[in-house]
Chains A and B, each alone.
Chain A
Amino acid sequence: MSDTHRKKLAQRFREFLPEQSVIDQPTSLAAYECDGLSAYREQPLLVLLPENIAQVQQVMRLCHEQRLPVVSRGAGTGLSGGALPHAEGVVLSLAKMNRILQIDSLSRLAVAEPGVRNLAISEAVKSQGLYYAPDPSSQIACSIGGNVAENAGGVHCLKYGLTLHNILALKLVSSEGEIFEIDQRNLQTEGYDLLPLLVGSEGMLGIVVEVTVKLLPIPRCARVVMGIFDSVDKAGDSVAAIIAEGIIPAGIEMMDNPAIRAAEDFVHAGYPVEAEAILICELDGTEEEVSSQIDLVEKVLLKRGATETRLARDEAERLLFWSGRKAAFPAVGRISPDYYCIDGTIPRKSLAAVLRGIRELSTEYGLRVANVFHAGDGNLHPLILYDSSNEGEFEETEELGSKILQLCIHHGGTITGEHGVGVEKLGEMCVQFGDAERNQFHSIRECFDPLKILNPGKAIPTLARCAEFNAMHVHNGELPFPELERF
């Protein structure tokens, strides 16, 4: 795209956007080249930062008229390349729309512009004894609009649900620049329930411009117990055993030995570095409830082979126990020049088998893998350690990641639990779904965006792309896991 074209187009947007809301200088555009998946980069034609809904509508009308691809972007913390720019299109950043518009403590809801940070909502309502439950690990930085686009999860979703479960209403701008709303504050749906289509649609069905979230009362009490294990299998069994007792922990996280070591070196949370696995289990509710449940959890952990359990004595120690888990990613970053975070979900009963499979793949590829995961909902985050300065190592890493995801499908799971497909997992989408389902996805997309200008090339692979992916991954005439039903 020529520079004159860029300048001309920028001029068109400046007719209705403030000067500083249109970025066309290559040096400034560089900041938007990638999201949290920095291995993929692209320079957009322009970056636009509208300040209100009317401006978003104007932007969309012009993009629609010009058939310009539009990549919407929140805080850019996504891990699947969903906000990777399109070389021939614009990045529509919602970062300037960052006000909380309304807090209604009686109705227990807050209305936020899309650029509001996830954690800022909970901070704003804390004095009223309320909070917003979904807490992706990027919650300090990630935006609520991005959370909606990705259906973000977090450590507490087993008990409190994903973003979808905590949204009451959405206001969006369509690809044609029209406003449309989904309002479920009354807990009913008129006609089809479009909320589950829109939440997690990765910016392909509309631009989220206002989000009404559900607020919950802050639990009176939260306590954490750590279970220490000499085998990953025993830790995995313990998770199922706790749930079989009828307990839904607020969070239950697992780390394997490489992850424990990395985290302990980094934050000194008192983790046992010799352990093969630890479970961090948090319970919340009233004090009476939590103390009775925590006793039961300790008993289950020991019965299932924990070598030791540790109960956080106070709030400071609870936060310390969590600090290692929350810092696991940067901790792994310290022991390896680069790491790549994978996001698959499996039925809990397959935990041990999948971890064994990952170990075998890790050996086969000669790449170390540290595992941290949301054990309660079977959501794995294997971190592949690699060095991008070694020729070909990133490609090897991607291939290993893809194999891990296909292993998840093989065990009845899915290729993404909470990070989204983006550009990263387009190939694996061809394994998870068949042509008929992908065609249906494309048809749904066209209902919302007939010109296909919203985030083109993401989330749903084309048939041609799948043909190519499957051709590349056929060995000796067989697809990986040939016995697998292809849906």
Chain B
Amino acid sequence: MPSIPVLNLEEDLATQVAAVAATGAEVQIIGGGSKRFYGEPMEALPIDVSAHSGVIDYDPAELVITLRAGCKLSQVETLLAENRQMFGFEPPCLGADATIGGMVASGLAGPRRAYAGSIRDFVLGAKMLDGRGKVLQFGGRVIKNVAGFDVSRLLVGSHGTLGIILEVSIRVIPMYETEKTLAFEHASADRHVAWINELGALPYPISASTWVDGCSLLRLSGSAQGVDYAVVQLGGDTVDSHWQAFREQTHEFFDPDQPLTRISVPPASAGIAIDNPQMIEWGGAQRWFRGELDIAGLRQQVPGQGIGVCAYRGHAAEVPVFHPLPDTTLKLQRSIKSSFDPAGIYNPGRICPGL
């Protein structure tokens, strides 16, 4: 694995943005291009930020890494692994060129998210370019920090609509001493959901769960003693791990030729009455459905807070990717967007019209 390239393009990017802002044009921010599918398509001027790269600071004993946003996620993970550390939220790359900036902007996390936390939970600070081409810096490199509004965490999942992420400080966690995966037969989704939520109330070192093809898989991570104890208590069959395939969505469930829908629900919610093939992750909170689905109809069936239907991949162009926001929320969110990007130059409409 080559070492992480070092190149500071901050001034260059600031100049480019200021020039674009002056002409009233719009830009789409390009990193590694691995998560382009995740959001509405855009027709704005591309601005490539992937060369803005380099490790600014990494002292493993501090449990914090500060990176320029163009760093490749895979290379950063290698660097962390050399120090027996990792990102707690187990981010998917979904492509060899995935960058740290794209990871933060998309907010996508992997199997450990339900147990270790989201990207948002681990971001400690960020440097960004706003819509005027001005460099802003929020948060810091320490774990506890309540000075000022927590803007760096707001950037997580903002899909580049608030500005260009230049640098980010992220808390990392030690690698676990050991990991084991147990398999259990559960014929129905409801059976799995009840089982995994009941388990959640017990102090076992669970780090991931999934249900697919009538089988529940449970990953245990921690000290050898803690994991072995849980294996004895829980029973089940010890099996080979599939977690990388779930994380990168290369498992056979994720047929790339078929549409994929993600329905997010409070974890203990009853099964969703859809006949399509289903996979459940995150202790019941993340439910994937493969094949054609009436997204608009589904969204009407599940109004109200707490349930989100995402037309994740492969749906018709006219179907909004993200669950539409209620009017009052949208109004507030648009005003927040304007406060960072008054002329609306960044990733126009990437989340939804106006965002």
Residues of B within 8 A of A443 (CB): 339
Asked if residues B266 and A106 are in contact (CB atoms below 8 Å), the reply is: no
**Given A106-B268, A201-B149, A181-B305 contact (CB < 8 Å):** yes
**Given A129-B202, A220-B203, A286-B226, A161-B268 contact (CB < 8 Å):** no
Residues of B within 8 A of A128 (CB): 201
A430-451 vs B, Cβ < 8 Å mask (1 yes, 0 no):
0011101110110111111000
Residues of B within 8 A of A246 (CB): 84, 174-175, 177
Q: Count chain B residues whose beta carbon lies closer than 8 angstroms to a beta carbon of A.
A: 87
**B38 CB, min distance to chain A CBs, angstroms:** 13
- A residues 431-481 with Cβ under 8 Å of B? 432-434, 436-438, 440-441, 443-448, 459-460
Asked if residues A414 and B142 are in contact (CB atoms below 8 Å), the reply is: yes
Known: A128-B201, A200-B146, A415-B147. 8 other contacts (CB 8 A): A191-B351, A292-B223, A347-B64, A425-B147, A429-B148, A438-B148, A441-B151, A443-B339
Asked if residues A191 and B333 are in contact (CB atoms below 8 Å), the reply is: yes
Asked if residues A418 and B144 are in contact (CB atoms below 8 Å), the reply is: yes
A30 to B154, CA, bound (A): 39
**Given A189-B157, A414-B140, A440-B340, A432-B198 contact (CB < 8 Å):** no
Q: Counting CB contacts under 8 A, is A276 at the interface?
A: no
Asked if residues B339 and A444 are in contact (CB atoms below 8 Å), the reply is: yes
A186 to B284, CA, bound (A): 9
**Given A105-B201, A425-B147, A248-B336 contact (CB < 8 Å):** no
Residues of B within 8 A of A377 (CB): 142-144
**Given A164-B121, A193-B156, A444-B149, A178-B144 contact (CB < 8 Å):** no
- 15 CB contacts below 8 A, A to B, read A178-B328, A187-B267, A194-B154, A194-B333, A196-B120, A219-B203, A288-B228, A378-B143, A413-B142, A414-B147, A438-B148, A440-B130, A441-B148, A441-B151, A444-B339
Asked if residues A432 and B322 are in contact (CB atoms below 8 Å), the reply is: no
Residues of A within 8 A of B285 (CB): 185-188
Residue in chain A with minimal CB distance to B83: A244
Asked if residues A191 and B325 are in contact (CB atoms below 8 Å), the reply is: yes
Asked if residues B264 and A188 are in contact (CB atoms below 8 Å), the reply is: yes
A376-411 vs B, Cβ < 8 Å mask (1 yes, 0 no):
011100000000000000000000000000000000
**B312 CB, min distance to chain A CBs, angstroms:** 11
A459 to B222, CA, bound (A): 40
**A167 CB, min distance to chain B CBs, angstroms:** 11
**A172 CB, min distance to chain B CBs, angstroms:** 11
Q: Which of B7-15, B16-24, B45-53, B131-139 contacts A (4 or more CB under 8 A)?
A: B131-139
Interface residues of A, Cβ cutoff 8 Å to B = 104-108, 128-130, 150-151, 153, 157-158, 161-162, 164-165, 169, 178, 180-181, 183, 185-197, 199-201, 205, 217-220, 240-241, 243-244, 246-248, 285-286, 288-289, 291-293, 345-349, 374, 377-379, 412-421, 425, 429, 432-434, 436-438, 440-441, 443-448, 459-460, 487
Asked if residues B308 and A217 are in contact (CB atoms below 8 Å), the reply is: no
Residue in chain B with minimal CB distance to A178: B328
Residues of B within 8 A of A433 (CB): 147-148
* 7 interchain residue pairs of minimum CB distance: A196-B153, A288-B225, A289-B226, A246-B174, A417-B144, A443-B339, A188-B264
Q: Counting CB contacts under 8 A, is B150 at the interface?
A: yes
Q: Counting CB contacts under 8 A, is B300 at the interface?
A: no
Asked if residues A420 and B146 are in contact (CB atoms below 8 Å), the reply is: yes
Q: Counting CB contacts under 8 A, is B188 at the interface?
A: no
**B297 CB, min distance to chain A CBs, angstroms:** 18
Asked if residues A374 and B144 are in contact (CB atoms below 8 Å), the reply is: yes
Asked if residues A217 and B202 are in contact (CB atoms below 8 Å), the reply is: yes
Which residue from B144, B223, B337 sits with its C-beta under 8 Å from A157? B144
Q: Counting CB contacts under 8 A, is B229 at the interface?
A: yes
Residues of B within 8 A of A438 (CB): 148
Residues of B within 8 A of A288 (CB): 223, 225-226, 228-229
Q: Counting CB contacts under 8 A, is B62 at the interface?
A: yes
Which residue from A218, A420, A434, A437 sits with its C-beta under 8 Å from B203? A218
Residues of A within 8 A of B61 (CB): 240-241, 243-244, 348-349
Residues of A within 8 A of B351 (CB): 191
Asked if residues A243 and B146 are in contact (CB atoms below 8 Å), the reply is: no
A447 to B173, CA, bound (A): 35
Asked if residues B147 and A421 are in contact (CB atoms below 8 Å), the reply is: yes
Asked if residues A199 and B142 are in contact (CB atoms below 8 Å), the reply is: no
A448 to B336, CA, bound (A): 9
- B residues 252-274 with Cβ under 8 Å of A? 264-268
Which residue from B84, B142, B226 sits with its C-beta under 8 Å from A417? B142
A317 to B110, CA, bound (A): 41
Which residue from A106, A187, A240 sits with its C-beta under 8 Å from B118? A187
Residues of A within 8 A of B174 (CB): 243, 246-248
- B residues 329-355 with Cβ under 8 Å of A? 329-330, 332-333, 335-337, 339-340, 351-352, 355
A285 to B197, CA, bound (A): 19
Residue in chain A with minimal CB distance to B322: A190
Asked if residues B154 and A289 are in contact (CB atoms below 8 Å), the reply is: no
Residue in chain A with minimal CB distance to B62: A347
Residues of A within 8 A of B229 (CB): 286, 288-289
Asked if residues B140 and A412 are in contact (CB atoms below 8 Å), the reply is: yes
**Given A106-B198, A106-B268, A200-B150, A186-B203 contact (CB < 8 Å):** no
Residues of A within 8 A of B134 (CB): 436
Residues of A within 8 A of B308 (CB): 186, 188, 190
Residues of B within 8 A of A218 (CB): 203
**A19 CB, min distance to chain B CBs, angstroms:** 34
Asked if residues A378 and B137 are in contact (CB atoms below 8 Å), the reply is: no
A164 to B149, CA, bound (A): 13
* Most chain B CB within a 10 A radius of its CB, from A162, A191, A218, A429: A191
Residues of B within 8 A of A194 (CB): 154, 332-333, 336
**Given A289-B226, A289-B229, A420-B146, A191-B330 contact (CB < 8 Å):** yes
Q: Counting CB contacts under 8 A, is B205 at the interface?
A: yes
Residue in chain A with minimal CB distance to B200: A108
Which residue from A187, A244, A285, A293 sits with its C-beta under 8 Å from B264? A187
Residue in chain B with minimal CB distance to A215: B201
Residues of A within 8 A of B282 (CB): 187
Residue in chain A with minimal CB distance to B226: A289
A106 to B268, CA, bound (A): 7
Residues of A within 8 A of B277 (CB): none
Which residue from B151, B197, B223 sits with its C-beta under 8 Å from A444? B151
A185 to B305, CA, bound (A): 9
Residues of B within 8 A of A286 (CB): 203, 225-226, 229-230
Q: Counting CB contacts under 8 A, is B145 at the interface?
A: yes
**A173 CB, min distance to chain B CBs, angstroms:** 13
Asked if residues B223 and A414 are in contact (CB atoms below 8 Å), the reply is: no
Residues of B within 8 A of A434 (CB): 137
A258 to B149, CA, bound (A): 35
